[in-house]
Structure 1
Amino acid sequence: MIFNFKKKHTNSLYNRLLEISRNIFFYKRFKFKDTFDTRLLLIFFHFSIILNIFKFKHKKTFDQNAYDEIFNNIEYDLREQGLGDVNVNKKMKIFNRYFYDILLKINLSDDEKFEFNFELLQKYFKSLNHELNENSQQIGVYFNNFYKFCFELDPESIIKGDINFNN
């Protein structure tokens, strides 16, 4: 086929992560700038926590198709912004590097006890000119609470995007 039309954002987990990243809480309380990069970093932090839960609690791997769809949706969003193939590929390479760095370093603990890595906040949000000094502890509490909430969920519910977390 010449044209391959995909339905936009059919991945319910991606949609839920996107909703969470748009939570006014981050922009009012922590004064984050409402940009594509900020939302994407918030998605990466939340998604990394979910993948840590799959690793430590469920002792199984995350559904590869759901994982691929999340990154396909990010790529689709970049194209929707008018970026061409070359720029999309460059951005996706950078975003993949960010994601894997966050994924590998978000949990300072080597077991299911989650210990949020505050240095990642400084590293990524400071690069977006966000001031985190007085708020980094509160953001850490938020992510620790998100981990505890998701830890109690069924893995299938998580993949379906049934994450009704209220900060």
Structure 2
Amino acid sequence: MFSIYKRHNNKLYNKLVELSRNKFFYQEIKLSDNFESRILLIFFHLAMIFRIGKKDKNEKKTQEIFDNIFINIEYHIRELGYGDVAVNKKMKILNKIFFDILVNFDKEKNIFDPKKTNLIKKYFLNKENGKNEKINKLANYFFNFKNYCFALDVDSMLNGSINFTYR
């Protein structure tokens, strides 16, 4: 009848949101400052964190983090005023996008090499910011983020202790 409420640790989610709000993305690269762009940035950061954390083999913890991140995203979609049906459709689409990013991270070793920016182009290239220079800057950002995360302890990284700054 009564279930035990498990308190969620939102530190990692809050850190991902903070990283996705970096002015570099919107002022220098000129990404659209909207929900979709921020979600994509969150997904790229999270996929990289999961890829690095994969070596730790802590599947239960990463599943809890995944669930928590997607619950928070669902709450924010609801706050935007979407109804139940629209939220479910949007969450299904977002899940597919995230898993596409995650699978591509696993396939390619040097995914942020300027010569291998297909994944970034797929999600961030549009008529507004279609220049290769901007894609390369975005690839460079993620390359630096990846190197920063590899130097961190996996547990502290999964708990949201990421103090990465870029410009």
* TM-score bucket of the superposed structures, by smaller chain: 0.7 to 0.9
Match of 2:24 in 1: 25
1:49–1:147 CA contact under 8 A, matched in 2: yes
Using the TM superposition, give the Cα deviation of residue 125 of structure 1 relative to its aligned residue in structure 2, in angstroms. Answer: 1.3
For residues 116-127 of structure 1, what are the structure 2 equivalents within 5 Å? 116=112, 117-126=116-125
- Aligned residue in 1 for 2:73: 74
Once the two structures are TM-superposed, the CA of residue 130 in structure 1 deviates from its matched residue by 3.4
Q: Say which structure, 1 or 2, has more relative contact order (CA 8 Å, 6+ apart).
A: 2
Question: What 5-or-longer segments of structure 1 have no aligned partner?
Answer: none
Aligned residue type for 1:28: Q
Residue of structure 1 in register with 2:82 after alignment: 83
CA–CA distance in structure 2, aligned partners of residues 95 and 73 of structure 1: 13
Identity %: 47
The one-letter amino acid paired with 2:23 is I
Write the distance in 1 (CA, Å) between the matches of 2:57 and 2:92: 28
Question: Could you tell me how far 1:115 is from its partner in structure 2?
Answer: 3.4
Asked if residue 115 in structure 1 is aligned to residue 111 in structure 2, the reply is: yes
Given residue 140 of structure 1, which amino acid in structure 2 is its aligned partner?
A: A
2:152 alignment partner, SS class? coil
Report the 3-state secondary structure (helix = DSSP H, G, I; strand = E; otherwise coil) of the residue aligned with 2:53. helix
Of 149-158 and 120-129, more deviation after overlay is shown by 120-129
Root-mean-square deviation over aligned CA pairs? 2.3
Q: Distance in 2 between matches of 1:132 and 1:94?
A: 27
Deviations 1:95-133 (A, max 9, x none): 001000011113512xxxx43251111111125853242
TM-score, normalised to structure 1, is 0.85
**Structure 1 or 2: more helix by fraction:** 2
1:10 Cα deviation after fit:
5.0
Which residue does the alignment assign to 1:133? Answer: 132
Unmatched 5+ stretches in structure 2: none
Code of the aligned partner of 1:38: S
- The verdict on how the C-alpha distance between 1:128 and 1:14 changes in structure 2, with shifts beyond 3 A counting, is farther
Q: How many residues end up aligned between the 2 structures? A: 158
| In 2, Cα distance between equivalents of 1:77 and 1:128 | 27
| Counterpart in the other structure of 1:103 | 102
